[in-house]
Amino acid sequence: MMNVLNHIAIAVPDMSTAIAHYRALGAEVSQPQDLPDHGVTVVFIQLQNTKIELLHPLGENSPIAGFLEKNPTGGLHHLCFEVEDLGAAIDTLSDVGARVLGNGQPKIGAHGKPVIFAHPKDFHGVLMEFEQA
Protein backbone atom coordinates (compact mmCIF):
# COMPACT_ATOMS: atom_id res chain seq x y z
CA MET A 1 0.00 0.00 0.00
CA MET A 2 2.63 2.58 1.05
CA ASN A 3 4.82 3.56 -1.83
CA VAL A 4 6.91 6.74 -1.56
CA LEU A 5 7.40 9.18 1.31
CA ASN A 6 5.93 12.30 -0.27
CA HIS A 7 6.66 14.74 2.55
CA ILE A 8 7.25 15.34 6.23
CA ALA A 9 5.00 18.06 7.63
CA ILE A 10 6.14 20.44 10.35
CA ALA A 11 3.83 22.91 12.08
CA VAL A 12 5.50 26.30 12.53
CA PRO A 13 4.40 29.25 14.68
CA ASP A 14 6.14 31.80 12.42
CA MET A 15 6.18 31.00 8.70
CA SER A 16 8.54 33.86 7.76
CA THR A 17 11.19 32.75 10.24
CA ALA A 18 10.87 29.11 9.18
CA ILE A 19 11.21 30.03 5.50
CA ALA A 20 14.29 32.14 6.27
CA HIS A 21 15.94 29.25 8.14
CA TYR A 22 15.46 26.79 5.28
CA ARG A 23 16.59 29.33 2.68
CA ALA A 24 19.72 30.00 4.77
CA LEU A 25 20.43 26.27 4.54
CA GLY A 26 20.28 26.53 0.75
CA ALA A 27 16.92 24.83 0.32
CA GLU A 28 14.52 25.50 -2.53
CA VAL A 29 11.40 27.01 -0.93
CA SER A 30 8.00 27.36 -2.63
CA GLN A 31 5.69 30.32 -2.32
CA PRO A 32 3.12 30.12 0.51
CA GLN A 33 -0.18 28.56 -0.54
CA ASP A 34 -3.42 29.03 1.42
CA LEU A 35 -5.62 25.95 1.73
CA PRO A 36 -8.85 27.22 3.31
CA ASP A 37 -10.51 23.78 3.20
CA HIS A 38 -7.74 22.47 5.46
CA GLY A 39 -7.29 25.64 7.53
CA VAL A 40 -3.60 25.96 6.74
CA THR A 41 -1.02 27.90 4.81
CA VAL A 42 1.64 25.59 3.37
CA VAL A 43 5.14 26.01 2.01
CA PHE A 44 7.13 23.17 0.49
CA ILE A 45 10.87 22.72 0.93
CA GLN A 46 12.10 20.63 -2.02
CA LEU A 47 14.81 18.07 -1.27
CA GLN A 48 16.37 15.50 -3.60
CA ASN A 49 14.46 12.55 -2.12
CA THR A 50 11.35 14.12 -0.53
CA LYS A 51 9.82 17.39 0.61
CA ILE A 52 9.25 19.14 3.91
CA GLU A 53 5.86 20.81 4.23
CA LEU A 54 5.69 23.76 6.59
CA LEU A 55 2.20 24.29 8.05
CA HIS A 56 0.87 27.48 9.58
CA PRO A 57 -2.68 28.18 10.83
CA LEU A 58 -5.13 29.81 8.43
CA GLY A 59 -8.29 31.02 10.11
CA GLU A 60 -9.71 30.59 13.59
CA ASN A 61 -10.69 26.94 13.21
CA SER A 62 -7.35 25.72 11.92
CA PRO A 63 -6.32 22.33 13.31
CA ILE A 64 -2.74 23.61 13.26
CA ALA A 65 -3.68 26.37 15.75
CA GLY A 66 -4.68 23.67 18.24
CA PHE A 67 -1.47 21.76 17.56
CA LEU A 68 0.60 24.90 18.17
CA GLU A 69 -1.25 25.62 21.43
CA LYS A 70 0.06 22.27 22.69
CA ASN A 71 3.44 22.70 20.95
CA PRO A 72 4.16 26.45 20.93
CA THR A 73 7.55 26.11 19.23
CA GLY A 74 6.10 23.88 16.49
CA GLY A 75 6.99 20.31 15.66
CA LEU A 76 6.46 17.24 13.54
CA HIS A 77 2.81 17.16 12.47
CA HIS A 78 2.48 14.25 10.02
CA LEU A 79 4.07 11.97 7.45
CA CYS A 80 2.60 11.72 3.95
CA PHE A 81 2.90 8.60 1.81
CA GLU A 82 1.86 8.16 -1.80
CA VAL A 83 -0.43 5.24 -2.59
CA GLU A 84 -1.43 3.87 -6.00
CA ASP A 85 -5.11 3.43 -5.07
CA LEU A 86 -6.54 5.66 -2.35
CA GLY A 87 -9.82 3.70 -2.26
CA ALA A 88 -7.91 0.47 -1.64
CA ALA A 89 -5.84 2.27 1.02
CA ILE A 90 -9.04 3.28 2.84
CA ASP A 91 -10.19 -0.36 2.75
CA THR A 92 -6.83 -1.59 4.03
CA LEU A 93 -6.83 0.93 6.86
CA SER A 94 -10.30 -0.24 7.85
CA ASP A 95 -9.20 -3.90 7.66
CA VAL A 96 -6.38 -3.27 10.14
CA GLY A 97 -8.62 -1.25 12.46
CA ALA A 98 -7.14 2.16 11.66
CA ARG A 99 -9.52 5.12 11.64
CA VAL A 100 -9.71 7.54 8.73
CA LEU A 101 -10.26 11.06 10.05
CA GLY A 102 -13.05 13.40 9.01
CA ASN A 103 -15.98 11.86 7.17
CA GLY A 104 -13.80 9.05 5.81
CA GLN A 105 -13.80 10.50 2.30
CA PRO A 106 -10.78 12.02 0.53
CA LYS A 107 -10.24 15.78 0.31
CA ILE A 108 -8.06 17.55 -2.22
CA GLY A 109 -4.64 18.25 -0.71
CA ALA A 110 -1.90 20.79 -1.36
CA HIS A 111 -0.71 18.98 -4.50
CA GLY A 112 -4.20 18.99 -6.01
CA LYS A 113 -4.57 15.25 -5.39
CA PRO A 114 -7.01 13.37 -3.13
CA VAL A 115 -5.74 12.72 0.41
CA ILE A 116 -6.92 11.10 3.63
CA PHE A 117 -5.54 11.17 7.15
CA ALA A 118 -5.40 8.23 9.55
CA HIS A 119 -5.70 8.71 13.32
CA PRO A 120 -2.34 9.04 15.08
CA LYS A 121 -3.43 6.70 17.88
CA ASP A 122 -3.57 3.94 15.28
CA PHE A 123 0.01 4.65 14.12
CA HIS A 124 2.00 4.91 17.35
CA GLY A 125 1.31 8.60 17.86
CA VAL A 126 2.04 9.72 14.27
CA LEU A 127 -0.63 11.33 12.10
CA MET A 128 -0.48 9.63 8.71
CA GLU A 129 -1.53 11.19 5.42
CA PHE A 130 -2.06 9.09 2.31
CA GLU A 131 -2.06 10.79 -1.08
CA GLN A 132 -3.19 9.37 -4.42
CA ALA A 133 -0.05 8.94 -6.55
For position 37, what pLDDT does the model report? 87
For position 15, what pLDDT does the model report? 98
Distance from C-alpha of 88 to C-alpha of 42, rounded to nearest angstrom? 27
For position 60, what pLDDT does the model report? 82
List of residues 6+ apart from 24 with CB closer than 8 A: none
For position 63, what pLDDT does the model report? 92
Q: pLDDT: is 111 or 75 the higher one?
A: 75
pTM: 0.92
**Active-site option among 53, 82, 129, 131:** 129
| 37-95 pLDDT tens trace | 899 999 999 999 999 999 999 988 899 999 999 999 999 999 999 999 999 999 999 99
Give domain 5-132's CATH architecture: Roll (3.10)
Distance from C-alpha of 75 to C-alpha of 107, rounded to nearest angstrom? 24
CB 35 within 8 A of CB 52: no
For position 61, what pLDDT does the model report? 87
Indicate the domain borders of the chain.
5-132
Active site residue 129: yes
CA 59 to chain CA centroid, Å, is 17
- Torsions phi, psi of 132, nearest 5? -60, 125
Question: What one-letter code names the amino acid at 32?
Answer: P
